[in-house]
Chains A and B, each alone.
Chain A
Amino acid sequence: MRRSRIMWMALILLSISAAALVAAESSWLSKVPPADRQRVNPYAGRPDAIAAGKLLFEGSCAKCHGSDAEGRHGRPSLRSERVAHATDGELAWLLRNGSLHKGMPTWNSLPEPERWQLIAFLRSLPRDSPPSAAVAHP
């Protein structure tokens, strides 16, 4: 009887944690207004913008996300599938607003063209290898 109660408690806790994780993972994306989501990066694919974005990344982002953008000290990788699947407009919204309760500050005092240059650089990064691929090809 007692054992099954513990099992149920553990199951409920796991479910809550999983739900919280899913909610946390998708929370900022769900807040992006449709108009912002559809914005287009005026600097997309431009080599000079990618080079400028790299310098901005080293100055403003690498300290938290790592110089290779793979994340450090629990901060997320910027080469993840989630970032790769986000639209330029969604990334621009995140840079402008931050995600304050998750530790991501606003970068609205960087001028908007510099934020687009950063996004152009992020788009040039290779993606993280998916875990399944890593297992399949050690």
Chain B
Amino acid sequence: MAKSPHPIPEVRAAQKSVLRHGDRSSRPRFQRLLAQFSLSRGPTLLFLLLLCAAPHKTARAQEPPYFVTYSEALEEPGNLEVAQKGTTGSPKDANGFYSATLELEYGAEAWWTTELYLQGQATTNDSTIFTGFRWENRFRVLPTEHAINPVLYLEYEDVNGADKSVLEVTGHDSIADLQGRNADSRGDISRTVEGKLILSSNPKGWNISENWIMEKDMMGGAWEFGYAVGASRPLALSASSRACTFCRQNFSAGAEVYGGLATVHDFGFHDTSQYAGPTAYFNIPHGPTLGFSPQFGLSDNSAGVLWRLKISYEIQQFRDLFSKKEAQ
């Protein structure tokens, strides 16, 4: 059975080179290209495919512009948000990296959101690898709105030591975690359960959220702690009466601070990494939401700057695609 040509030009060229020359030296390059495609571009391609499958309707994300901090905002029931979260940085004495996380967030109920993360990273002068997955669930505790709204977060993660997504910081996480060679650190698998208490308020158009993080490696080790705090506000509190892309209501900005709080044995800021930075989201009407944040290391154990990017798209009422249409 004849194979169809590969859709990516670089891979197609490498395939041709192998077929034409039978050159053994070009084979590793071809394999390398394939690996790089499947890990660095694979999530992007999947993201784009899901976008194409999405019903094209207006989308308005309501979540505050945080990258690490969670607010009380859950995914609306039946909606599926597909997001690509990227983190890039050049830690001191180490190669630059780009970590890509594909995020599939589904509103199971109005009080329950479930989410799957698939993570990978590419490091210059090193390799591109898949680093693991996470499955998280968030449950809204109280049925009505209060001054402070608690949400419980439960997560199982299976990631290796080469993971550089920095989706949260706990325990003694430090710059050393970003400096190792992939070949050395990928064998260090950790399977952890993580809990968060999310507290969130919405006074006068602002969102203020605080997260208390507890993490335990199921293969041993002490309980590790961390925190994240964020504050944000849309640039306009009332909507414009005309459809517009660059209206202030489509932008929100804020700041977040997060870091580790060591372990149950040595609780505190000693030998931990801490980050802070401004954050901004742009909700494109009829389109995706774009997010950007430079986050600055505040301690010697932190990377200098982590640049974060996010692109997300909400597939509205995804579950209706699988339910029977109403009788007319």
A residues in contact (CB < 8 Å) with B:
31, 47-49, 51-53, 55-56, 58-60, 62-64, 72-74, 96-114, 117
The answer on a CB contact under 8 Å between A104 and B110 is: yes
The answer on a CB contact under 8 Å between A101 and B238 is: no
Partner of B285, one of A59, A96, A110: A59
Interface residue B144 (Cβ < 8 Å from any Cβ of A): yes
* Chain A interface mostly: helix
The answer on a CB contact under 8 Å between A62 and B238 is: no
Interface residue B320 (Cβ < 8 Å from any Cβ of A): yes
Knowing A60-B62, A73-B320, A110-B62, say if A52 contacts B239 (CB, 8 Å): yes
The answer on a CB contact under 8 Å between A101 and B241 is: no
Within the assembled complex, what's the spacing in Å between the Cα atoms of A53 and B196?
Answer: 36
The answer on a CB contact under 8 Å between A58 and B317 is: no
Partner of A113, one of B58, B111, B143, B238: B238
Within the assembled complex, what's the spacing in Å between the Cα atoms of A110 and B63?
Answer: 9
Interface residue B33 (Cβ < 8 Å from any Cβ of A): no
B residues in contact (CB < 8 Å) with A:
57-60, 62-64, 71-74, 76-79, 107, 109-111, 140, 143-145, 202, 205, 207, 234, 237-243, 249, 285, 316-317, 320, 323, 326
B145 to chain A: which residues have CB within 8 Å?
96-97, 106, 108
The answer on a CB contact under 8 Å between A113 and B237 is: yes
- For the complex of A and B, 5 pairs with smallest distance between CB atoms: A59-B60, A51-B241, A113-B238, A111-B237, A63-B316
The answer on a CB contact under 8 Å between B73 and A109 is: yes
Closest to A114 in B: B239
A109 CB to nearest B CB, Å: 4
Within the assembled complex, what's the spacing in Å between the Cα atoms of A62 and B150?
Answer: 28
Within the assembled complex, what's the spacing in Å between the Cα atoms of A56 and B73?
Answer: 18
A105 to chain B: which residues have CB within 8 Å?
74, 76-77, 107, 110
Within the assembled complex, what's the spacing in Å between the Cα atoms of A100 and B113?
Answer: 12
B91 CB to nearest A CB, Å: 34
A100 to chain B: which residues have CB within 8 Å?
109-111, 140, 143
Closest to B143 in A: A100
